[in-house]
Amino acid sequence: EGKRIKAIKNVTANEQFFVGHFEQYPVMPGVLIIEALAQAAGILAIKTHDGEVRQENALYFFVGIDNARFKRQVIPGDTLVFEVEMLRVSRGIGKFAAKAFVDGELACEADLMCARREI
């Protein structure tokens, strides 16, 4: 409960996704911001031993999203700061509150779910 992770992504003009999104006005696709938040949530889940399986025998997969909101565009030169809080883990399902910021301004927020699968 109350466990957190912070991650950073420096968004450069050389990102491949800017080629087609959009040529004259490059904007980072929102789905990639969500994916980055989900990856941070998965890392937090793996590093936070929930007592059900050993960490090295499992991965967490992104399985759900609710309440996703995009508050500002992310453009080349921005630094995204991802902050994810683990709200709870029950029966292998982790629930997370996730936010992405640029210069302290909220760019995106969502409630995420990740499911643990033994490998």
Strand ranges of the sheet holding 105-118, from the earlier edge strand across to the other edge: 3-10, 79-90, 93-102, 105-118, 58-70
Tally of residues, the chain: 119
Q: Residue 4: what pLDDT?
A: 96
Q: Is 49 a catalytic residue?
A: no
* Total domains in the fold of the chain: 1
Q: Residue 46: what pLDDT?
A: 85
Convert the pLDDT of each residue in 34-84 to its tens digit. 999 999 999 998 888 654 545 578 888 999 999 999 999 999 999 999 999
- Per-residue pLDDT band for 86 (boundaries 50, 70, 90) equals very high
Average pLDDT value for residue range 90-105: 96
**Which amino acid is it at 71?**
K
Share of the chain above pLDDT 70, in %: 92
Share of the chain above pLDDT 90, in %: 76
Q: Hey, how many other C-beta atoms are within 10 angstroms of the C-beta on 73?
A: 13
Q: What is the CATH number of the domain that holds 102?
A: 3.10.129.10
**Which amino acid is it at 94?**
G
pLDDT value at 98 more than 70:
yes
Q: Residue 31: what pLDDT?
A: 98
Angle at 114 between CA 20 and CA 18, to 5 degrees: 10
Range of the domain at 21: 3-118
Q: Residue 53: what pLDDT?
A: 45
Contacts of 67 (CB under 8 A, 6+ apart): 109, 110, 111
Higher pLDDT, 94 or 57: 94
CA distance 68 to 75: 19
Q: For every residue of 45-93, which 3-state class applies, written as one string?
A: HHHCCCCCCCHHHEEEEEEEEEEEEECCCCCCCCEEEEEEEEEEEECCE
Catalytic residue among 3, 21, 72, 95: 21
